[in-house]
Amino acid sequence: MSDRFLKACRRESVDATPVWFMRQAGRYMKAYWTYRNRYPFLEMVKTPEVAAAITMQPVNAYDVDAAIIFQDLLPILEAMGLELDYVKGAGPVIHNPIRTRADIDALTVKPAEEAMPYTGDAIRTTIAELEGRVPLIGFAGAPFTLVCYAIEGGSSRNYEIAKGLMYGDPKQWHRLMDLMASAIADSLIAQANAGAQALQVFDSWVGALSPADYREYVLPHSQKALAIVKQNTDAPLIHFGTGTAGILELIKEAGGDVIGVDWRIDLNVAWDRLGSDVGIQGNLDPVVLFAPFEEVERQARRVLDSVQGRRGHIFNLGHGILPRTPVENVRKLIDFVHEYTKR
Ligand code: CP3
């Protein structure tokens, strides 16, 4: 098995820098469409053989050092009683978003294995297909990102409704965040028990918060979720967020063995601030992959050079790979990272 990825998570020395991409299975790959044209997205997520096959696509196509299970952030909300729908062109929608205290009362929290049995099944099926080639990453949304989705009912620019509850009724906000943190921790533990060798928490929207608000309204809940996971599994934990340059130290305080950062901060600056007792994942701008490969290589080299030999770097993009990304550049970038960092 290529164990570079898990070694880097533990800040051990590696033979080359490990690389994988968030959203590495998806629409930019032709192979993805062979399934996507036949199944609605949620059906793919809930059919373990399909989810496993899609998880394997980038592993078979490129020399990535980790697989990430093909699931999504939002089905956990469906399991709690929200009506989730992936609408073509509009993205995910929740038809009955949380707006009142009664809506929070009505949420059902079941054990993860019962609420989302398909996730464990997808992980077990994938582990068998991987035959130990690379480790498998399980994942969940962080409390803030999931609660925002549950309240807004879809993507949002300013999160007025979610922040409206946060500022307007902090008691209910904290109750909802606490409930979400428990469900997230339970889901991550179930994924590790099913065989996932590492876990990532996505706080994709956390960049919308001031440092003071993150500390007051969010940090305790992320911290709780990550601490429960740490107490119950040995899997390394990656804590990823975007737009976190203003709250990096707080993200670290919330937890994670590895902190994922986007391209809006230099990797070495981020790492200096975080300290050497955590690993770092990132952080090429996903749009760079649309440039001629010479530019991709120049920018990748800049990221890799800035690490200056420190242990615990996992090369990734600063956010998910975009749907129209040229596959040739993806393959070349992965090979370049390995070649350039070979020890
Ligand atoms: O990384 C992987 O390859 C594993 C699979 C994965 C998906 N979503 C599949 C997916 C992962 C890790 C996610 C995480 C996710 N999902 C996030 C956090 C990461 C990020 O990008 O910030 C968020 C916010 C979601 C919620 C979500 N799912 C949105 C907002 C959308 C619509 C926007 C979009 O990209 O289409 C989805 C749909 C989704 N999730 C797709 C995939 C492959 C596209 C579905 C399709 O084929 O139409």
CA–CA distance, 314 with 309 (Å, rounded to integer): 12
The strand pairing partners of 90, in sequence order, are: none
Residue closest via CA to ligand 1's atom 1 equals: 23
Catalytic residues: 23, 27, 36, 72, 149
Those residues whose C-beta lies under 8 Å from the C-beta of residue 174, and which sit 6 or more positions away, are 217, 221
Number of structural domains found in the chain = 1
- The predicted structure's pLDDT at residue 1: 65
Nearest in space to 258 (alpha carbons), one of 22, 2, 1, 75: 22
Q: Count other Cβ atoms within 10 Å, centred on residue 310.
A: 15
Annotate 65-99 with DSSP letters as a single string.
S-EE-S--SSHHHHHTT--EEEETTTEEEESS---
Q: What is the per-residue burial (b if ≥16 Cβ within 10 Å, else e) of 191-203?
A: bbbbbbbbbbbbb
Using the mean position of ligand 1's atoms as its centre, give its distance from the Cα of residue 23 in Å: 7
Nearest to residue 181, comparing CAs of 136, 155, 219?
Answer: 219
The atom number, within ligand 1, closest to the CA of 145 reads 24
Would 102 be classed as within a structural domain?
Answer: yes
Compute the distance from residue 70 Cα to the ligand 1 centre, in Å.
9
For the residues of 135-160, what is the DSSP string, one character each? Answer: -EEEEEE-HHHHHHHHHHSS--SS-H
Work out whether strand 258-260 and strand 136-141 pair parallel, antiparallel, or are unpaired.
unpaired
Q: Which amino acid residue places its CA nearest to atom 13 of ligand 1?
A: 72
**What's 231's domain CATH number?**
3.20.20.210
In a domain, 131, yes or no: yes
Residue 13 is assigned to a structural domain of this protein = no
The answer as to whether 164 is a domain residue is yes
What are the backbone dihedrals phi and psi of residue 258, each rounded to the nearest 5 degrees, phi first?
-130, 135
Closest CA to 187 of 111, 135, 133: 111
CB of residue 41 inside a 6 A radius of ligand 1: yes
* Domain annotation covers residue 330: no
Q: Return the axis-axis angle of helices 170-194 and 160-168, rounded to nearest 10°.
A: 120
Query: Is the Cβ atom of 211 under 6 angstroms away from ligand 1?
Result: no
Ligand 1 atom 33: residue of nearest CA: 91
> Which regions in the chain score pLDDT beneath 50?
none
- Asked if residue 317 belongs to a domain, the reply is no
Global pTM reads 0.97
Our mutation pick for probing the ligand 1 site, out of 22, 73, 74, 201, counting the most ligand atoms within 8 A of Cβ, is: 73
Q: Which of 54, 72, 316 to mutate to test the pocket of ligand 1 (most atoms within 8 A of CB)?
A: 72
Amino acid at 230: K
Tokens of 293: 């490969």
Does 298 fall in a domain? Answer: no
Q: What are phi and psi of 204, to 5 degrees?
A: -65, -25
Report the atom number in ligand 1 closest to the C-alpha of 200: 12
| Protein residue closest via CA to atom 43 of ligand 1 | 26
CB proximity list for 291: less than 8 A, separation 6 or greater: 299, 329
Per the structure, the complete domain to which residue 169 belongs is given by 26-281
The reply to whether 253 falls in a domain is yes
What separation in Å is there between the alpha carbon of 191 and the centre of ligand 1?
18
